[in-house]
Amino acid sequence: MIVVKDVHKRYRTRHGVGPWVLRGINLAIPVGVNVGLIGPNGAGKSTLLRLIGGIDRPDRGHIQRLCRVSWPMGQGGLEGTLTGRQNAKFVCRVHGHDQDMADRIAFVQDFAEIGRAFDEPLYTYSSGMRSRLQFGLSLAFDFDVYISDEVTAAGDAAFQRKAAEAFQAKSQQAGLIMVAHSESTLRQFCQAGAWIHQGQAYWFDDINDALKAYKDTIFK
C-alpha cells in the first residue's frame, strides 16, 4: 500500500513562493489496483505522481511506501554525459543487479531500439530516444507499483503500440498509477481513479465515476 497523508506542495518561482499546488492530499492506494490520476492541466497530477515516485518531496505531510514503487516511467535520473549503456549499468548497480546485469542491459537495448546511439552520450539523444531508453529501464526491473506520466505517448506509432503492450503486461503482474489525457487510455489500464481538484484528491473505486466527476465540473 501507498499512504499519502496530508501532503502539501508548492514551488518557488522567480517572483517568490508560488500558490499551493496540492493542499492536504490524503490517499491510501492498495497494491494491485490500477489507478488513474484525473484532472485538468495544472491540477497537480504530475506533481503528485513525482511525489509518490520519490522524485520530489512534499513541503508538508508525508508519503509512506509499504511496497516497491518505480520511479516515473520515461522520466528521471539519467546522466547526460554517460552513454545509454553506462546509464543502464549504473541503474543496475543501484538496484543490486550486478549478477544479472548483462541480461537486463540486453533487454533495455533491445526494447529501446535506438541502435548505435545506445553507446553514445545521452546529451546527443532526441527526446524520443531518451524516452525509449527510460521506458526500457523502467521495465527492466520488477516493482509492486509502476507509475507513469503519459509514457505510452512517447515515440512513434510503432513504439507507442509496443509500449502500450508492455505496459499492459506489467498491469497484469503489478499495480499502476498513471496520468494520461486520453480517456480511452485511462479506461484501458485503470480500474480506479483519483480526481485532483483544487488541490484535493477524491478517490473513486471505478475509473468511470472519477471521469464523470471531472467532466461534471467542466460542463457545469
H or E, element range at 177: strand 175-179
pLDDT in tens, 150-204: 665 555 677 778 877 887 788 788 899 999 888 988 998 899 999 999 999 999 9
Type of residue at 180: A
Domains of the chain, residue spans: 1-68+176-220
Count CB-CB contacts under 10 A for residue 54. Answer: 15
Type of residue at 37: L
Residue 162 to residues 93, 156, 205: CA-CA distances in angstroms? Answer: 27, 10, 28
The DSSP letter of residue 115 is: G
Tens of each residue's pLDDT in the chain, 220 residues: 999 999 999 998 888 888 999 999 999 999 889 999 999 988 999 999 999 988 889 999 999 999 988 877 766 568 889 999 999 999 888 878 888 899 999 999 999 999 999 999 999 998 888 888 888 888 888 889 988 876 655 556 777 788 778 877 887 888 999 998 889 889 988 999 999 999 999 999 999 999 999 998 876 6
Q: How far is it, in rounded angstroms, from Cα 154 to Cα 157?
A: 9
Q: How far is it, in rounded angstroms, from Cα 93 to Cα 84?
A: 14
- Give the right CATH number for 1-68+176-220 from 3.30.1600.10, 3.40.50.300, 3.30.2270.10, 3.40.50.800: 3.40.50.300
